[in-house]
Amino acid sequence: MPRAPKPTAVVALCGGVGGAKLADGLARVIRSDELTIVVNTGDDFRHLGLWISPDIDSVLYALAGLSDPVRGWGRRDETWSFMAALRQLQGPGWFQLGDADLATHVERTYRLAQGESLSAVTARFAHVLGILARVLPMSDDPVSTQLLTDEGWLEFQDYFVHRQCRPRLERIEFRDAETARAQPAAVAALRREDLRAIVICPSNPFVSIEPILAIPAFRDALRERRVPAIAVTPIIGGRAVKGPAAKMLSELGLEVSGLSVARRYAGLIDAFVLDHTDPPAVPVPGITVSHVPTLMQSLEDREQLAHAVLALADALR
């Protein structure tokens, strides 16, 4: 009688910096070729003619060990001659492009213009950077996160970078998500026979994870999952570790807590990881809540959180 394959594969859904850290942790504690990382592309945009995929780059740089540890975004050992010269030419200075980071954008834009898909370019970059995990944009079709604010509709980067999240958020839409084709390899990974766990990384629920879930095939695959799905809080002690998640929760009339995030994933996850410093949680129906250290400052922190998440998944089988 054939045995079911041992569940070894992991799929992580993630956005930018925080999510990329846990994705890196997972890549460090399992055989990294068993890991599929599905990355939000709702923030992607064109700037100065260059196609910029901020979350994909955060994941690539994190897994390649190239992330800047202080700034929290972009590449380590970065230089800034381009921006200085661009300002001299009175070009747009609101979006910071590091000199080395530019190589990613220029080469990606060039390859896309040659007809390569975003997933093919991403796979190529991952390969040359020595990344064994599979890094997949959620879709090769453009999906655009749009924010309705008290200043009207804004594109994500306009809200996030240009206006530094100052406008008050009223509503979010993911343009073209309903018709975008989910990355086939990502959907297949979510339905693998040997799947061990689905991990929703500690990313902003509104603008990093929900754009992925807005694509029907991903929402369906999570609803129909046959393995534990675990989400990790991006909120610790009532604050976002990074970015506007807490401000967004508040402006949308939700409690600023990890549990508010957990509730948004109802029906899609089996367990939610709160930070160990957070108080005991009120129960959320259908979701097991666990407390573990979630702040990732060192590589060891990333690995420990990855271990904890996978142990929780295994315990839920």
CB of 115 to a second copy, least distance (A): 13
Least distance from C-beta 160 to a second copy, angstroms? 21
Task: Write the DSSP assignment of 194-211 as a string of letters.
Answer: TEEEEEE-SS-IIIIIHH
Rounded Cα distance, 257 and 17, in Å: 19
Q: What distance in Å separates the CA atoms of residue 184 and residue 117, rounded to the nearest whole number?
A: 13
Nearer to a second copy, 97 or 231 (CB): 97
Q: How far is the CB of 128 from a second copy (least distance, A)?
A: 5
Q: What single-letter amino acid sits at 179?
A: T
Q: What is the nearest approach in angstroms of a second copy to the Cβ of residue 179? A: 27
Of 78 and 301, the one with the shorter C-beta distance to a second copy is 78
Q: Give whichever of 53 and 290 is closer to a second copy, judged by the CB atom.
A: 53
Nearer to a second copy by Cβ, of 82 and 153: the residue is 82
Residue 225 Cβ vs a second copy, minimum distance, rounded to whole Å: 35
Rounded least distance, CB 216 to a second copy, Å: 33
Q: What is the contact surface with a second copy in residues (CB under 8 A)?
A: 48-50, 75, 78-79, 81-86, 88-91, 98-104, 106-107, 109-110, 113, 125, 128-129
Contact 189, 11 (CB under 8 A): yes
- The residue (of 100 and 281) whose beta carbon lies closer to a second copy is 100
Residue 53 vs 149, nearer CB to a second copy: 53
Q: From the CB of 99, what's the least distance to a second copy, in Å?
A: 4
For residues 100 and 292, which CB has a smaller minimum distance to a second copy in the complex? Answer: 100
Instruction: Tell me which residue of 13, 57, 66 sits closest to 222, measured CA to CA.
Output: 13
Which among 142, 168, 183 is positioned nearest to 248, based on CA atoms?
Answer: 168
Rounded Cα distance, 200 and 300, in Å: 20
Report yes or no: 221 and 185 within 8 Å, Cβ to Cβ: no
Count each helix (H run) and each strand (E run) in the chain, helices first. Answer: 12, 14
Could you tell me where the DSSP H helices lie in the chain? 17-29, 54-63, 81-88, 99-113, 118-128, 156-157, 184-190, 210-213, 216-223, 245-251, 258-264, 299-316
Cβ contact 233:274 at 8 Å = yes
